[in-house]
Every structure is written in structure tokens, then in C-alpha cells.
A and B are shown apart, each in its own frame.
Chain A
Amino acid sequence: MEFFTKANIDFLGKRRVFLVLSLVFNIVGILVTAMFGLEYGIDFEGGTEIAVQIQPPPEVGEIRAAIGAAGFHGAEIKSYGRPNQFLIRVKESSGQTEPSTAILTALRERFQDRQLTLLKSDKVGPKIGAEMRLNAAIAVVISIVAILLYIAFRFEFIYGLGATVALVHDVIVAISAIAIVHHLGLLRIEVNQSVLAALLTVVGFSVNDTVIIFDRIRENRERHKGMNLIKLMNLSINETLSRTINTVLTVVLVLLALLILGGEVLQGFAFTMLVSILTGTYSSIYIASAFVIWFLEKVRKVDLEGEYRRLKELERQAAVQT
């Protein structure tokens, strides 16, 4: 089977449109995220959260009444995976008695005649939550810097910069996607440790495509000495296109399996990865390479575009003649 035998798509010809589009997308993403807000899990927020299974399932209102009577009024109650499973979250993480015990006791009393199982219970103190937020931010920044340095070391500094810009783009898109999907109620995704894990993995993976294209550019530069850079990049992207699509396909397939079958706990992880793999592929073509061209033209004042246009004109004429 073959998808693209002789792909020759002019990816970078329309790079300005895509760059502007991505920029707009990112800004809107940031605004939307700021507006809708992200929902932090208790890993980052602190508080107490318990998941129970009650058979036969009661109304959410009944649960609220039961734990309200125990003194927990601002509780958040949601369904958890299955119709008879519930997630209850309160802000308190300490007090006279442990909130989790108090809630559990209240529920056991209220639903004496039903079968109640504790699925899980998490308590995170406010200090730990704050620490984890800080650690998460540090981790993301350090990994981005580490990638920048590695690519700069293996290729050239501007390439490292291009990869990093693409990376930041992907992270922003992933976070905005979480905010939007959560806000619209399509998937209940809160930002917790596993979403952070996904974001960091994205930092590693989304740069994969970029690296593979850059690697091909490096190789082609040797093979076609003196070729116009835009043309060279186009050629490299086209040559690796088949691989890019196949890899993305396999990863998307396994992530879909994980998203659909992996259960509540891994949903946020799978979703974040899925979004970022797709944007990572896009950004490796339209952001990373396009940024390098933009940088060379604007900062180093190399007229790549004019040369490229002239070359294309020549090619067109040659094609007409034959």
C-alpha cells in the first residue's frame, strides 16, 4: 500500500497565511482559556475528593443533602465514569475530623439500605497543592529549555528556536483545547498530574516530527548544495510526509483506544496527547520550518522568498516549453 508516492505539495508557499492563522488561534486560545478558566484537580488545588459507588444509584441531590447535613455545603458532586459512581469534592483538607471520613460516614448513614463502596479518596493539603503547581510550571519550562538546547546543539540555534516556538504553540493549543472541551461539557477534563504528564510528553513528542524534518533538511543541504532554502524545506517535508502521516496515524490509533477504553483516570491524559500529536504535526511543518525562514528573512535579511518566486517562475516556464 502507498499513500504518497511522489508528494510535491508547496507547504511553505502559503506559510504566511498559516503563521498568521496560528498566531490568531493562539491568542484566541489564551483569551478563551482566561475566560473559561481551567479546572484544576485537587493535585494542584488542594482539598478532599472521594469517589464512591452506590448501588442502586441515588439522585445527586440526595447525596448533596446527605453531606450538607454533615456540614459540607460547597461540595461539588459529579458522576464518575459509571452511572452509579460519584465524585464528591470539598475544599476542606483538614478540620476536626477528616473530611473524607465525615463524608463517608454521612453517606453510609443516609444510604444504609444501599450498597456503598469507596472507590478512592484523595486529600491534598494547600501547601502541597501550591508546591505541585510550582513544580509543574518549572518542569514545563525546564523541558522546553532543554529541548531548545538539544536541538540548538544538534542542528543550529535558529532551528532550536524554531522547534521551541512550535513547541510553545502546541502547549498553548493543548491547554486551550482542554479549556474549551471542558467548558462545553464534551469531556470532563481537569488539570491534574496526569494532564501535566501529557503536556510534558507532548513537549518531547511534538518535537519529534520537527526533528525528523530538520534531520532531512540537514541531509538535503549536503545533497543539494546551494538549493534555495524554501525549496529545500518543501522538498524535505514532502520526502518525510509519508512517514509523518503513518506515525501520526499509529499514535492516534493507540490514543483513541486509550481515550475510549482507558477509563476516567486516563481520559485527560489521552485527550491532551491526542490534541497535541495532531497540532505537533501541523506545527512541525507550518511553524517550526516557517519560523526559521521568517527569522532568516527578517533578522538576517536574506531574500529567500524573492529567489523562491523566481525559481518557481523558471520551473513553470520550463514546464510550458516541454
Chain B
Amino acid sequence: MPPKRLRQLWGKWALLILPLGLGLYILYPTYRAWTLENRKAALQASGDSVQLAEFDQLYGAALQNAKQNALKLGLDLRGGMYVTLEVDVVKLLEEAAEREAIDDLFRQVLEATRQEAERSDEPVLSIFLRHFDRIARPQGRSLISYYDVGDLREISEEKILERLQRNIDDAINQAQEVIRQRVDKYGVAEANIQKQGTRRLVLELPGVTNEAEMRQLLQTTARLEFKLVRNNEEAVRAFSAIDQYLKRQRSGQSHSLTPPDTLQAQPAAPDTLQSDTVRSTSDTTTDPYAGLSDEERQRRFKEDFPFTSLFVTYYIQNERFVPVDYRRGEFPEGEYFFQIPKANLAEFETILARPDVQRLIPAEYEVALSAKPDERLQRQGYEIYTLYVLKREPELTGDVITDARATFDPTTHAPIVLMDMNTEGAERWARITGANVGKKIAIVLDGRVYSAPVVQTKITGGRSQITGMSSVQEAHLLEIVLKAGALKAPVKIIEERIVGPSLGEDSIRRGLLASVVAFLLVVLFMVGYYTAGGAVAVFALLVNVVLILALLSAFKGTLTLPGIAGIILTMGMAVDANILIFERIREELRRGRSLRTAVDEGHKRALSAILDSNITTFITGLILYFFGTGPIQGFAITLMIGILTTLFTALIVARAFIEILMAYDIHLTYGLPRKWLVAPTS
């Protein structure tokens, strides 16, 4: 190979090799994830837990990493549940009404509305109004008879309608937040929850097949409560008791010990436990793990403190956070603070869920987690949740809240949330805040703590101001959460699709088989008809398919079954561009042109036809994308990506290949008899 030519042709070689290389590089994680999953599945099937643990240790991180960058499969291929939820406006209108005021007349209006709303596209509120005017108004009722807006002075029908409309508009955000938390808690990996329009939520839940349980989870309304925070020495002592209990149990003595019923019921229990630990620490030197390797130290620590080693405990002393050492066993009175990294959450929750462990926690207490990791720490790349010990009995439930609004403090410009309560709530709120000045009250939705503000003063009049949010987003989230108290966001399932894992696997197998056969048929035809030229087209097609998959993977698109159909279709249509060029080259050759001119002319003249025909298909792809849903969008995307890659591979990659061949005096005949070839003049 003369080096001179190589230097002239390096750009063309790059066009040949780079796209293919880049595509394969992008697809490598997909391949890696696939092989690792297979190995893991084989180990799981064999039931060898030792090897499985070893595999997890060796490849766990690699698998996780590969999966993150791998091509995502649609629900129709991997199995799972696809749900569309819609705000149940009729239910919302019912719940927003004063319970005592609801009578038969009102129920009639709601029923008529429900029936019409089933099929109509008209906004439900206007359907409701129409029926209200028809049924209830002649009987002397107005909206004011059923809805309470709080302030009596400014009450009017318009105000009520405005409020209802705002509630309807907010409902979907609220449902989204609640459902996201629940789905997270349920442990659905890679769940996707998206708003569609202003009333709908689309959920993609891979791997979920227990549809009844999931439905339940999605359709129950959330509960908002205010609970006192009890991060005190009693709580810490209970945690320490759990350590002791688990440790004893693990070292095989559990059968001889009965755990104390509750620490509350037996005040002596904590004392004995405490003296136990005090003795054990005094027996040893200051550091019981002295002289051990770091790893061993870790292991021993975890063995000795199976529960409290999962999180970090601080004692708050003069506003400073002092880490608590559970080995010392003495816990001063006062306020504590707990933080737990995300990685430990699963183990923490499993331990806590055990009924025998639950008995060690005072009956009036419960442990709750923050809804989100700490935002300040998250910015630094740590996912740390806060633990709260709460008084189980709520001080107040959210239905007394009439409104909540995120805004800014007029003087400090910090984000704040304003919260209004009804008269009854305001009275109780004043009592509660009055009795707990300087203490924290947690705002709990669905069992998760969204905020735990400190009570600054006794709040009378029902209007509270919550400060200390680290961002506008956080304030807005709190607003949504507080509104869940004022208003339940009832949702109903209007579309639900479940694909069992066996059908998904079957679809993948069939899709793969059809693709391979289709590809081979195209190869056979192209090489048979255009000989070496056909082989060039086949190479371009190969690059094309690799690029489609790579782009899909890079843009985080999902491959669906219709998407596979799109790729197969692209295989058939992609060679059209090559066919157009080759036919053009043949024509030019028949006219007696030299190969050089024929190749140039062929490419030049075929260009406009290729562009026009691909653009029309691209237009329909776009329209399909905007009007289709789920898997069909997957088809539209592969179709559009396929058109772009086809233009690139057929016009640029294949051309580069042909030019390289010509530079080495390898002259393709494009399936024409040799007689048509005029000796190259150059």
C-alpha cells in the first residue's frame, strides 16, 4: 500500500471507520449489560448464593454502570405496566364540597356530570355548571350552599369557581408528587412518571406485574398530617436497644432473651440495657478495635452496632452538631439529629419493619424519613436522607388547611410558604404552637416528612409562614404538599397496559429473528444484483443499523417492538438510496462515460431524488411522533433517526468506500457486464 495514497485518503478512511467505531463504542455498554445480566441470571438460576454474592461484588458496579448507558427497552419488550391517570374532576368537586351540605340534589348533579364527562371532551367544570343550573338552581340552591371559601366577606360564585378551577389545575402536580414517592417506596426501578397535558399523568413501570397492588397504590389519596418531632434521648436509647437486641440475636442467644415489651411499659429496661453497655465499654480499653485493620474495624463496628451503624447520630449542643458514640451508652437529655445515606435505606427499612424490632420503639413514637435527600448535600453529590422520630398521634390533619402559597419574604427575599387554616383548625393550631414553641413540627404526607420547621411563636389567626427553604423549588414542593391537605387529588386510571415478561421475551426473539432474516435477504439481493457495488451498499447498511441503535441509545430513546419494525423497514428503504445511485451510474456507463465521470454524475444526479423522497417520509415520521403514543412514538423515532443515518451512510460512507476502492484501481462494475466499462482516463 503506497503511503502517498494513504495520506491522500486518510479522510475517506476515517469516514469508513469512525462512524462504525463510534457506534460500536456507544453500544458497548448495551452489550456488556446484556452479557453480565445473562451471567447473573445463570447464577441466580443455579441458586449458588456464595457465587452470586461474589459476582455482585466483582461486577455489581460495572453492571449498574453499563445498564445506565445501555439502550433502553420499551415496556412492550421488557415487560411491565403502562398507566395513564387522569384527575377525577367529578370526585374532586365532591370532595371539595362541604360534607354536611351535600344533599340528594347535589348528588344528582354530580351523577349527571359523571355520566356526561365519561365521553365528552368539554371541561368537566362547565358540564358540572350546566347540570347544576338545570337541577339545583331551580330548587333555590347556589354554589355558595355547597362550597366554603373561608372568608365570608368576599364570598361569591365567581370566587368559588375560581378556587375550584385552581384546585383542578393543581391536582395533577400534587398527584405526581405523591405517586412518585409511592412508586419509589414500592421499589420500581427506572420508573418513569410524566405529565401529559394538564390533567394526565403517564406512568411507565418496568417489571411490575402485580397490577392489583399497583392500582391500589396509585388510586388511594394521600394523607397530610402535622406531627411533633421527638428526636430525643428516649429515641436514641431505643435505637441503642435495637443494636443490643440484634447483636444478641445474631450471636445466637436470642432464644434465651425476651426483648422488653416496650421501653415505655418497662421503665427499668433502658436502665439495665444502659448499664450493660456501660460495663462492656469500661471492660475494654478506650478503643476496642485498636490494632485492627480498617476493614476489620468496619466489620466489627457493624457487627457490634448492627442498627445504629447504618446512620449517623448527632447531639445538638448549643446549635453545634456533636456526633454521638453509641459505645458510650449514655445519652444526655436534649435534641438529636439523624442522617442516613441512601445506600443504607433498604437495610434500615427492613430492620425497622420487623415486628420484634418495632416493639423496642416506644409505642407512641414512630420513625419517618425525609421525602427527599438533603438539598445542600445533594449539590455536593451526596444523597443523604434525614431520619425523624415522630409522635405517632398527629397533632392536626391536613383537612383544616384552606390554602397554601409559595412566595418570597418581602424583606429578606428568601423563599417562604404561606399556609391558611379554617377557623376550627386555626384554634387548634394556636394551642399546639403555643405549647411547643422552640420545638419542631413535621409536615408529613403519606408517611414522608417534607419539612420540619421550628415553631417560633404561638400562631393565632390561622395564617402561618414557613421559612428555611433552600430553594424556590423546595418552597413550591411544600406548597403542593400542603395543598394535599386542603384538597385530595383523586385520580382514576383511564388507560392501562400490562405486558408480561414472557411476551416481551418472545417479542424480542421474534424481532431479532425477523431483523436478521430481513438483513440477509437484502444482502442476498444487493450482492446478487450489483455484485461488488452491492457489497459496498451492504457495508453502508451495516453502519446504518449500528448508527440507528447507537443514536437511539445516546439520545436515551427506547427501543420498542414497533421500533424494531421501523429498523427492519429502514433496512429495506435504506438501500433505495444506493439503488438510485447505482442505477444512475449504470446509466452513465451505458452512455459511454468513464467510470470516474459516471460515479460523479451518478451521485450528483441521484441526490435530489434521494433527498426529496426521504424528506417526505421524515415529515410523516414527525406527524406520527406528535400524534402517536408510547410504542408508536418509538417507531416514529427510529424511522426518523433511520432516515438521517440512511442519508449519511448511503451518501457519505458508501461514497467514501467507492472512492477508496477507485484510488486503488479496484473498479466496481455495479453488476453491469464488463464491456460497458471504459478504461479510466485518470
Contact = CB atoms under 8 A, between A and B. Distances in A.
Interface of A: 1-2, 5, 51, 53, 98, 100-101, 117-128, 130-132, 135-136, 138-139, 142-143, 146-147, 150-151, 154, 193-194, 196-197, 200-201, 203-205, 207-208, 211-212, 215-216, 219, 239-240, 242-243, 246-247, 249-258, 260-263, 265-266, 269-270, 273
Contacts, number: 225
A120 B609 contact: no
B118 interface: yes
A265 B583 CA distance: 36
11 contacts: A2-B673, A194-B562, A194-B632, A197-B636, A204-B620, A247-B579, A250-B521, A254-B522, A257-B568, A263-B507, A266-B562
Contacts of A266: 511, 514, 561-562, 565
Nearest to A246: B579
B496 interface: yes
A257 B623 contact: no
A231 B531 CA distance: 33
Interface in B615-651: 615-621, 623-624, 626-629, 631-632, 635-636, 639
A142 B623 contact: yes
A270 to B, nearest CB: 7
A251 B502 CA distance: 30
A246 B529 contact: yes
B162 interface: no
Given A201-B639, A266-B562, A119 B620 contact: no
Contacts of A131: 121
A262 B211 contact: no
Interface string B601-619: 0000100110011011111
B620 A201 contact: yes
B281 interface: no
Contacts of B502: 53, 117, 119
A1 B624 CA distance: 38
B525 A250 contact: yes
A98 B496 CA distance: 11
Q: Which of B569, B580, B621, B673 has the most C-beta atoms of chain A within 10 angstroms of its own C-beta?
A: B569
B118 A126 contact: yes
Nearest to A125: B494
B514 A265 contact: no
A257 B33 CA distance: 28
Given A193-B629, A263-B510, A270-B565, A125 B639 contact: no
B496 A249 contact: no
A205 B573 contact: yes
Given A251-B572, A261-B513, A118 B617 contact: no
A136 B576 CA distance: 28
A194 to B, nearest CB: 5
A208 B613 contact: yes
Contacts of B565: 194, 258, 262, 266, 269-270
B80 to A, nearest CB: 11
B211 A100 contact: yes
**Lowest 6 CB-CB distances: which A-B pairs, in order?**
A204-B620, A204-B617, A254-B572, A251-B572, A139-B627, A254-B518
Contacts of A101: 211-212
A5 B589 CA distance: 12
Given A2-B672, A257-B517, A265-B507, A138 B627 contact: yes
B141 interface: no
Chain B interface, >50% SS class? helix
Given A249-B525, A251-B572, A261-B517, A136 B119 contact: no
Contact of B612 (A121, A125, A154): A154
Contacts of B613: 207-208, 211-212
A138 B628 CA distance: 11
Contact of B628 (A2, A193, A219, A260): A193
A205 B562 CA distance: 17
B616 A204 contact: yes
Interface in B543-576: 561-562, 565, 568-569, 571-573, 575-576
A258 B503 contact: no
Best-surrounded residue of B209, B587, B624 (most CB of chain A within 10 A): B624
Given A98-B211, A150-B619, A253-B521, 11 more contacts: A117-B500, A146-B619, A146-B623, A196-B628, A203-B620, A204-B621, A212-B580, A212-B612, A216-B609, A254-B568, A257-B517
Contacts of B627: 135-136, 138-139, 142
Nearest to A117: B502
Nearest to A5: B590
Given A200-B623, A205-B617, A254-B521, A215 B561 contact: no
Contacts of B605: 219
B156 to A, nearest CB: 32
A255 B570 CA distance: 11
A265 B624 contact: no
The SS class assigned to the A binding surface is helix
B79 to A, nearest CB: 9
Contact of B583 (A1, A242, A262, A273): A242
B433 interface: no
B501 to A, nearest CB: 9
Contact of B514 (A123, A251, A262): A262
Contacts of B586: 242
B157 interface: no
A120 B500 contact: yes
Contacts of A127: 118-119, 121, 494
Contacts of A125: 118, 493-495
B431 interface: no
A160 to B, nearest CB: 11
B334 interface: no
Interface in B210-237: 211-212, 215
B357 interface: no
B386 interface: no
A70 to B, nearest CB: 15
B576 A250 contact: yes
Contact of A123 (B497, B619, B629): B497
A200 B180 CA distance: 35
Contact of A98 (B212, B510, B514): B212
Contacts of B612: 154, 211-212, 215
Contacts of A270: 565
Interface in B485-522: 493-500, 502-503, 506-507, 510-511, 513-514, 517-518, 521-522
A99 to B, nearest CB: 11
A1 B616 contact: no
A269 B497 CA distance: 19
A119 B572 contact: no
A215 B608 contact: yes
A211 B619 CA distance: 14
A193 B632 contact: yes
B119 A243 contact: no
Contacts of B494: 124-125, 127-128
A51 B561 CA distance: 17
Nearest to A136: B627
A207 B562 contact: no
A261 B572 contact: no
Contacts of B496: 100, 121-123
A123 B503 contact: no
A201 B624 contact: yes
B671 interface: yes
A194 B635 CA distance: 9
A255 B635 CA distance: 15
B562 A143 contact: no
Interface string B398-427: 000000000000000000000000000000
Contacts of A205: 573, 617
Interface string B252-267: 0000000000000000
B629 A120 contact: no
A101 B211 CA distance: 8
Given A139-B624, A200-B623, A246-B579, A251 B573 contact: yes
Contacts of B209: 118
